[in-house]
Amino acid sequence: MSPAPSGEAIRAHDLTRTFGEFMAVDHITFDVKPGEVFGFLGANGAGKTTAIRMLTGLLAPSGGEASVAGHDVATESEAIKQDIGYMSQRFSLYDDLTVRENIRLYGGIYDLTPSELRDRTRRILDRLGLARAERTLVRAIPLGWKQKLALSVALLHEPKVVFLDEPTSGVDPVTRRQFWELIYEAAHAGTTVLVTTHYMDEAEYCDRISIMVSGRIEAMGAPAELKKQAGVASIDELFVRLARPSAESTRGAA
Amino acid sequence: MTNAPSTADDAHEAVVVDRITKRFDGTIALDDVSVRVNAGELFGFIGPDGAGKTTLFRILTTLIVPDSGIARVLGSDVVEGIWTLRRQIGYMPGRFSLYPDLSVEENLRFFASVFGTTVEREYDQIAPIYVQLEPFRTRRAAALSGGMKQKLALCCALVHRPQILFLDEPTTGVDAVSRREFWELLAKFRAGGLTILVSTPYMEEANRCGRVALLQRGRVLAIDAPKAITASYERPLFAVRAADRFTAIRALRAYRNTASVYPFGEALHFVDARADASPDRITSDAIDALHAAGVTDATVSPTPATIEDVFMARMGAPEGEEPNAQRGNPA
Amino acid sequence: MNALWGLLRKETYHILRDRRTLAVLIFMPIVQVILFGFSIRTDVRDVRLAIVDPSPDAATLAIRDRFNASGVFRTVAVAARSADLDALFQMDTVQVAVEFEPDFGRRLASGQPARILVTSDATEPNSGTARQFYVDAVIQGYEAGLPRGPGAVRIVPQARSRFNPTRESTNLFVPGLMAMVLMIIAALMTALSITREKETGTMETLLVSPLRPWQIIVGKVAPYLGIGFVSVLAVLGVARMVFNVPMRGSLTLLLAEGTLFILVALALGILVSARTSSQRVAMLGALMGTMLPTQMLSGFIFPIESMPTALQWVTYVVPARWFVAIARGIMLKGIGITYLWRETAVLVAMTLLLLVASAKSFKVRLQ
């Protein structure tokens, strides 16, 4: 797979979104380089989900601008969808279809050629060890496998950028790490990964992270640097320090 | 597997679980599980999805019946004594289960009335939490943030002064700050003598509990105080730090002396397979292996085991996989 | 195009693999066709006949025999005087009455017009021309057998419709419509309320509390009774003011019976939802269990006596059947509790039965 062209994979400048009087996303500016693993952190209600919806072309921005994989999110939202993958916490797989059928469905949706589909299906099944389960309904396979499969399907059409929304929620510690190895492999192959998570140790796996509080980005950078600057030993502590003042505010939260 | 109670007196057991098994449609949810919780303990059930935490809590709160085994809460059998127990238990189910179209006050008042009491009468009991909710007392429950919903649910579970509290994954899906606040609240109530059972998928929250049980796929991996569990980690554990973690982990996977290597935050947790090698030996051999793979800036140092390390060592292969996954090789 | 085929295939899998919905989609039409087929009968048969014959003679007896032999009519009562017919009609014992003029045979023989008064209970859909046709046929059959005299019309049938002189069809349908609407709304209300709690998870919290099933059920039913009562008023109001359906009996009684009927429907809704935790399934169950039987088996569109006997027995367990009889009786016939006590007792029994059944089937645990 050829590396992505130079320049940012994701670019946001003063990106804003309001709902009536409520400002969910407040002029955020950040960028993600191709092949980076970027952790997008924030408390519930901080604006992460809204920001991601804008970046994936699902929601129009109220102000500012952003581009993903070279496409402007406001004007080229359809083009974006071809170049990105998305995996949400609530799976994107159909429970009543088999493993193989799910892969084939998404292959069709993204217009893979039959030989591409064949090769990639084989590759996924082997890599995840799902060869025995290819005709099993997805509802019958263990949670950890579902997650890994959902990630693989999001990467099936080899998108430039993939968005992962709390992908490892509830999964056992070993599987979580296996999942992150899949992420690393994808990143090494040139895919840009933007991931949100509530597991603070996973924040450390990222190349860079941003922490959103009340719609704004309050910290951004490599985890090690952020910790050094703030004088804390873990991202968890940094998070608490940044987010706690807003827990008492009436804005959105509570 | 130790089952040492924190107080010596067995007569003060709030919860007795004796060889409970439960199946759903052929899948085993709980497999011959036995646990005892003493009065006044803050006891944690730690495990990922599918471990059986919710099933166990539902059995203990009389919502479902086990296939085999006995469970007693506050001396009453969970199958026979349901009407006694339902007056004495406070329960917070796994997902938000209050009335979204009622306000904070209305929800609280409803749950107080169902137990034959009033909010006014029990105010001192719930005051520590309620002061945080008070500014929003007329707001509809659906319009609260995740953290506030949890607090309201806790309030409603406590308003009738239960003798024992069951909290099923109260911190799941909630951000780190709200999680901390929630545990701080729990500590206050535990100090008042309430027996509290909490389940959580977050391993580090085990450290907030007096004793914990580690659960995985219906089986108990360990029951003890958190410090005792981490002290029971069998092998010396090392933290490997390097700039290029990806290459480092690949290198260690290929290294013949590796028993297991996993990412853990900014470091890799590494266990050497040799039982007889000294820490210095282990360190220098590992550094050599990393050098050979082109990782020149690695540091290797001993590190204390965490609950998660113990969990991973004890859990065996993830569901459906071959045991060689222990090395960290997927499938 | 790939994408489209992929989507079509996926949807097909979904449909084929959801067995329950598939069963409903395939069997529902079959069941409906069978039920409809048997209940849509407009053939006139087994019409209950009363005779008033002040001076029986060869002619009247001959005509009476013809009625009995027709295969359509069945003499169930012979009354001495016309006034005795009132009670018979009100109790729904007879549907048609044939009254002979005094000295019928003598008048006929002497060439004078001899009158037969035919009165029909017009509160039922089949009371129209079909029955009339058969009555005329029987009488004409007799006439044809008489030696013809010069010119005189011998027998003068006079048709009169009781209770519904102008034969307004709305009068026939509206009581039944009321029953159907009330039943559906009430059953849906409780069914949805309970399953909504199960779906959102609040039922779990309710269960782990000292609340007993009967308390939860009463707590669910009672508030809806109030709303149900308002529905009864609304539907009645529309019937009166928009469709001018008469109100010949006691309004209080009708409201009371309506409320009782709502209670039956609410209890049915609880029973439906006791077994399921999905709002969708509860809704389907409530609709199937109320709308279908009410439409087809309550007698408000398709007359019950035209149905096969087996199906007639089935109608006894359809609550709407009883309420339709009550509503028609009160509104169109003006009768009171003395004639309706049987139907009322059935509704009361149904309510108690359903409430007890739902309390029993209410699951005290999650499984």
State ipTM: 0.84
Contact C46, C305 (CB under 8 A): yes
Supply A190's token pair: 């040139």
Contacts of residue C207, defined as CB under 8 A and 6 or more positions apart, other chains included, come to: B63, B86, C364, C365, C366
For C38, phi then psi, to 5°, come to -80, -30
Q: Do C10 and A105 touch (CB under 8 A)?
A: yes
The nearest alpha carbon in chain B to C207 belongs to: B63
Average pLDDT over residues C80-87: 84
Indicate the pairing of strand A161-165 with strand B27-38.
unpaired
Please count the other Cβ atoms lying within 10 Å of the Cβ belonging to residue A134.
15
C-alpha distance from A106 to closest chain C C-alpha (Å): 8
Q: Do A239 and B176 touch (CB under 8 A)?
A: yes
CA A100 to chain centre: 24
pLDDT of residue B327: 43
- Cβ <8 Å between A105 and C5: no
What mean pLDDT do residues C202-216 have? 88
Tens-digit pLDDT profile for residues C145-189: 777 654 444 566 666 777 766 667 777 777 888 888 888 888 888
Q: Indicate if the pLDDT at residue A69 is higher than 50.
A: yes
> Distance between CA atoms of A96 and C18, rounded to whole angstroms?
8
Q: Name the CA dihedral angle for B183, B187, B188, B194, rounded to a multiple of 10 degrees.
A: 120
**Residue A50 token pair:** 């809204």
The answer to whether the CB atoms of B50 and A143 lie below 8 A apart is: yes
Give the SS3 label for residue A85: strand
pLDDT at B7 over 50: no
Contact A96 C14 (CB under 8 A): yes
**More confident site: C249 or C27:** C249
By C-alpha distance, the chain B residue nearest C211 is B114
- Please tell me the distance from the alpha carbon of residue C88 to that of residue C324, in angstroms, as a whole number: 18
Residue numbers in A near B147 (CB within 8 A): 43-44, 247, 253-254
Single-letter residue type at C111: G
pLDDT band for A243, please (50, 70, 90 cuts): confident
Say how many Å lie between the first and final Cα of chain A, rounded. Answer: 46
* CA within 13 Å, CB half, B184: 9
Please give the pLDDT value at position A47. Answer: 87
Which of B55, B63, B92, B167 should we substitute to test contact with C (largest number of C Cβ atoms within 10 Å)? B63
Q: What is the pLDDT of residue B76?
A: 95
- pLDDT confidence of C298, banded at 50, 70, 90? confident
Query: Which residues of chain B does A200 touch, with a Cβ-Cβ cutoff of 8 Å?
Result: 176
Q: Which of C2, C5, C13 sits opposite A101 (nearest CB)?
A: C13
- φ and ψ at residue A91, rounded to 5 degrees: 60, 150
C259 within 8 A of C323, measured Cβ to Cβ: no
pLDDT per position as a tens digit, B125-153: 899 899 999 999 999 998 888 888 999 99
The answer to whether residues C71 and C46 touch, using CB atoms and an 8 Å cutoff, is no
Predicted confidence at residue C156, as pLDDT, reads 62
State how far the Cα of B15 lies from the Cα of B77, in Å rounded to an integer. 10
Taking the C-alpha atoms of residue C325 and residue C328, their distance in angstroms, rounded to an integer, is 5
Distance to chain B for A2, nearest Cα, Å? 20
Where do the domains of chain B lie, and which CATH numbers do they carry?
13-230 (3.40.50.300), 233-315 (3.30.70.100)
> Residue C224 has which token pair?
């809806």
Task: Provide the pLDDT confidence category of residue B328 given band limits of 50, 70 and 90.
Answer: very low
Cross-chain Cβ contact B172/A141 below 8 Å: no
For residues B237, B242, B247 and B253, what is the CA-based torsion angle, rounded to 10 degrees? -10
In the beta sheet, which residues pair with residue B213?
B45, B223
Assess A110–C contact: CB distance below 8 Å, yes or no: yes
pLDDT in tens, A80-132: 888 999 998 766 788 889 999 999 988 888 888 999 999 999 999 998 888 88
Half-sphere exposure of A207 (CA within 13 A, CB side): 17
Above 90 in pLDDT, residue B157?
Answer: yes
- Beta partners for B211? B43
Write down which chains contact chain B via at least 3 CB pairs under 8 A: A, C
